[in-house]
A = this chain, B = another copy of it.
Amino acid sequence: MIRRPGRRPAGSNTREAIVAAAGRLFAEAGYDATTLRAVARAAEVDPALVYHYFGDKPALFVATFHLPVDPRMVKLLSTTGEGPHGERVVERFLAQWETGPDAPGTAFRTVVQAMASSDDIARSFREFLTERVWGQPEGVDADEWLRRRALVSSQLVGVAWARYILRLEPLASASRAQVAQWVGPVIDRYRSGEQEPG
């Protein structure tokens, strides 16, 4: 059978083709400039199929880079003034990477490899984090919030790095609750505690 040139029909390889095209476009153009329509064109599929499989751009980005983003964690990160909840942030952040069929931390490894190998992919992640994961609460100074969220991000990624990649004990084997108890107060300090001004 000769395959007609042009659009790829719906089928088992369609989702993979969309993800592959999305990976290229997010890396080349960044998160902001990549549209679902452009992904569809690059994957040679009908745009309706991209919406059908993924719904929206954040969901496509998450699927492309195997990101497990827990909406409850996102909500915790984007609110202030509800008392210390650093422990819950840490516990949910770790749970994201440890649930699912793969070995704990597998998705984290995928993500860090992608970021370390390409400035363009790192930029795409930065835009995604900035726009989708971190909302800005009302009544908080914009610069201060930028600084706070960068510091929280640095500690969270560092804990995941020590636990999944470097496998430094006791962080590698401790329960999520235990790690959250150790690191949570630092998250609270960065999120809402007193700080030297920038």
Enumerate chain A interface residues (CB-CB to B < 8 A): 109, 112-113, 115-117, 122-123, 125-126, 129, 143, 146-147, 150-151, 153-159, 161-163, 165-171, 174, 178, 181-183, 185-186, 189-190, 195-196, 198
As for how many copies of this chain the complex holds, the number is 2
Residues in chain B near residue A165, CB distance under 8 A: 115-116, 122
Residues in chain B near residue A181, CB distance under 8 A: 196
- A182 partner, pick from B113, B167, B178, B196, beta carbons under 8 A: B196
B157 engages A171 (CB within 8 Å): no
* 17 A-B pairs whose Cβ atoms sit less than 8 Å apart in the complex: A109-B116, A112-B112, A112-B116, A113-B116, A115-B166, A126-B168, A129-B166, A150-B169, A150-B170, A154-B183, A155-B158, A155-B186, A157-B161, A158-B158, A158-B159, A182-B195, A182-B196
